[in-house]
Structure 1
Amino acid sequence: MQQSEVSPTPRVLLLEAFYGGSHKQLIDLLKEDIKDCSVFTLPAKKWHWRARTAALYFSQVIPTCPSYRVLFSSSVLNLCELVALRPDLASLKKVLYFHENQLVYPVRKDQDRDFQYGYNQVLSCLVSDVVVFNSHFNMDSFLSSIRSFMKKIPDHRPKDLDQLIHPKCLVLSYPIQFPDVNSVLPDHKQVRRLYGSAETSQADGIIGPQDQQQTSESDLRTIQTRVSGAESAEKEKPLHIVWPHRWEHDKNPELFFNTLLKLKEQQLSFHVSVLGETFTQVPEIFSSSRRLLEANILNWGFVSSKDQYLQVLCDADVVVSTSKHEFFGVAMLEAVHCGCFPLCPKRLVYPEIFPEPYLYSTPEQLCKRLQEFCRRPGVVRRHAVMVDTALFSWTFLKPQFQTLLTADGP
């Protein structure tokens, strides 16, 4: 277990049963910028055991402290067990944060879904005072699934749990600390960030006139000159596609690689960088696709250095998601921050974040968009993405989290 520095009279108790990835990043942000915190965590290993047993462990190691007013935890922890074991914590304002929910988390077969994990999350909601989701999709999919999920109980099923939980719920986006990448952006992205897309996006058919910002004739001439100069160094380069996701089946790598192989069959020029973490069982599609796409690959595998990872994103033109599930999508937003054009499924969380021009409904639409971009990479390189990543930044969201972690806040 790890414990941060605490004030003599800690007011906020931060708990994280799976201290890794986005869970770790959120706790680190909170403990750095929220005053009077006490932090207890468990390493990000053996997720299933953390979900099963963390409450009992925390109940024994958290000292009794009369100054506590607020308890904050991710939904990995069975909060119901913890407050039963530690009645002194039951009186605190209890805030439960959902990075993901186990009611709709994808499994290969529904019979493989362990009922207990979703059940624990429902119980945790019932004892919480505030239930926070990182997206509307996460919240809506959880609440709408409770009734069918509980039908798995053979008899004597509880009723109307969604109605009990819903009034406690709110959506607060996951906060991202976006780094300053201006010094590593290629020239055409720097120009685009300074001046926007001008008239080029409409001419290239990415956005319609209603989306275009008004630009004066003199500004337009200046932009066109700068853009033309920056593009001259880029026009010979093939389209660079990046896929920065975990190497697991729920990210649907089969669709991504099958699409790239279709581009290759049509003799279209492109480069690809396949990033993301790997785990014990890597889908076979990765090894077979690496052989078939060898001539197109610029980067392959997890990049441990954050600076190198950001450099790849800055060098890329298009970032693709083929996910079968996504509750938020940090990797896509980081890529957009680095100037990539996003292509995402028109479902899950993506329509909340990305406007229509960046969404596809079918594999055929994804393939068609990439075909167009391979033939005309300048279309992507001239386009300023219509997503304000600042709205998902810690700078923007920090006041809302500060209010959430006050005893009299919502």
Structure 2
Amino acid sequence: MIIHLFAPFFSGSHQRWAEGYARHSQHTVRLFTLPGRHWKWRMHGAAVQLAQAFLAQTEQPDLLLTTDMLDTATFLALTRKRTANLPVAVYFHENQLTYPWSPTDEDVPLQRDRHYGWLNYTSALAADTVLFNSHYHQQSFLSALPNYLQAFPDYQGLATVDQLAAKSQVLYLGMDLLSEKENKLSKGNTPILLWNHRWEYDKHPDAFFRICEQLKLDGLKFQLIVLGERYAKAPPVFAHAREVLKDEIIHWGFAKDKGEYTHWLQKATILPVTSKQDFFGGSIVEAMYHGVYPLLPNRLAYPEHIPHDFHAQHLYETEEELFEKLQQLILPSKAFTQHDIFRKWVAHYDWQQLASVYDQKMESVVKSGN
């Protein structure tokens, strides 16, 4: 079977996902991509560029696999002579209905923020199958649609919500985990807190560093690793924290390659997550796979990464509860030896297990479309 995969925001986790599936699938997966920048323009303009790229080649696929960053409806309109009878699946890494907008984004006060959700909505309508990377993501998108549509003056299309629900499914994010070198050594006695997310507002760095500062003020001894991609307008709390916590920091900044990134994950011991938004949480899964003790909010997709019997131990409800759990972990001198437990919890996201699930899903989309 030949699959044409369209990834208009080809960087970071989107790129790793597309390349991973192409590498591990038993089918032939061709990638059509654009650089991962200017996300708003990609959602508008990528359909034209990728339609031209598709039409410029002669291979006819059995399935089109698009992502939430592509205006799939427009793409299909522009390529209708060759795609009219092709089955289409759209994979949602995120969506613009429930993604929290940056407070510094000028489109918010100008009330220009609805169209990107509309592109997600029409893309889902145009597809035969809608795939989400977590149950939380599926539920949040579908539950947000009625209120979103009711904001329009008439012909709101509320009946389409049930239609979309009927053709939506969960297909967890595939990742390259098992190829990583295993670290069987004890994590040691010095607590090392880890930040390994993007330096953006939706990861709520203010809360993370506020807790770190309070731990220091209380005289608790710990070290700090701060990883993650920094963008041009990083929240100012990062510069503040780098100065206030300079004695605790043992690494600061983006890892130059995967080997260095893995090294710091294997060195870290505790992962206190404060994010306000995560449709899956790939960085959390990566850290857990390398034995970092997770303390996660009891919201978003995070409960799906923790077996139910361990929710009370590893999930928290409030910032105060997170601080208390951290205190209990840092106060006693203890080694973190649960590496294999965390690894087992998330190993099923690896492509070695998920690739066949993806292949079967794509095959079923083709069969149902014929």
Matched, 1:100 2:52: no
Q: CA–CA distance in 2 between the matches of 1:180 and 1:405?
A: 24
Structure 2 counterpart of 1:119? 118
Deviation at 1:384? Answer: 5.2
- More off after superposition, 254-263 vs 347-356: 347-356
Structure 2 counterpart of 1:340? 292
Q: CA separation of 1:81/1:273 partners in 2, compared to 1, >3 Å: closer, same or farther? A: same
Structure 2 counterpart of 1:47? 39
Secondary structure of residue in 2 paired with 1:174:
coil
Number of positions where the alignment pairs a residue of Structure 1 with one of Structure 2: 354
Structure 1 counterpart of 2:323? 367
Q: CA–CA distance in 1 between the matches of 2:236 and 2:100?
A: 19
Amino acid at match of 1:51: M
Deviation at 1:59? Answer: 2.0
Q: CA–CA distance in 1 between the matches of 2:43 and 2:255?
A: 28
Deviation at 1:383? Answer: 7.0
Deviation at 1:272? Answer: 0.6
Q: CA–CA distance in 2 between the matches of 1:369 and 1:349?
A: 20
Aligned mate of 1:71, from 64, 75, 88: 64
- More off after superposition, 25-34 vs 367-376: 25-34
Query: 1:82-231 counterparts in 2 under 5 A?
Result: 82-87=75-80, 88-108=82-102, 111=109, 114-182=113-181, 185=183, 187-188=185-186
Matched, 1:314 2:266: yes
User: What 5-or-longer segments of structure 1 have no aligned partner?
Assistant: 1-9, 190-233
Deviation at 1:93? Answer: 1.0
Q: CA–CA distance in 2 between the matches of 1:168 and 1:294?
A: 51
Q: CA–CA distance in 2 between the matches of 1:264 and 1:181?
A: 33
1:14–1:39 contact (8 Å) kept in structure 2: yes
User: What 5-or-longer segments of structure 2 have no aligned partner?
Assistant: none
**When the two structures are superposed, what TM-score results if normalisation uses the length of structure 2?**
0.90
Q: CA separation of 1:129/1:377 partners in 2, compared to 1, >3 Å: closer, same or farther? A: farther
Q: CA separation of 1:150/1:89 partners in 2, compared to 1, >3 Å: closer, same or farther? A: same
Root mean square deviation of aligned Cα: 2.0
Deviations 1:68-107 (A, max 9, x none): 2100011111111111121121311101000001100011
Secondary structure of residue in 2 paired with 1:187:
coil
Q: CA–CA distance in 2 between the matches of 1:260 and 1:318?
A: 12
Of all paired residues, the percent bearing the same amino acid is 31
Deviation at 1:343? Answer: 0.7
1:95–1:132 contact (8 Å) kept in structure 2: yes
- More off after superposition, 65-74 vs 145-154: 65-74
Deviation at 1:26? Answer: 1.6
Deviation at 1:39? Answer: 2.3
Highest RCO, 1 vs 2 (Cα 8 Å, sep ≥ 6): 2
Query: 1:30-41 counterparts in 2 under 5 A?
Result: 30-34=21-25, 35-41=27-33
Q: CA–CA distance in 2 between the matches of 1:60 and 1:325?
A: 34
Aligned mate of 1:397, from 341, 349, 354: 354
1:17–1:76 contact (8 Å) kept in structure 2: yes
**When the two structures are superposed, what TM-score results if normalisation uses the length of structure 1?**
0.82
Query: 1:274-353 counterparts in 2 under 5 A?
Result: 274-353=226-305
Q: CA separation of 1:350/1:309 partners in 2, compared to 1, >3 Å: closer, same or farther? A: same
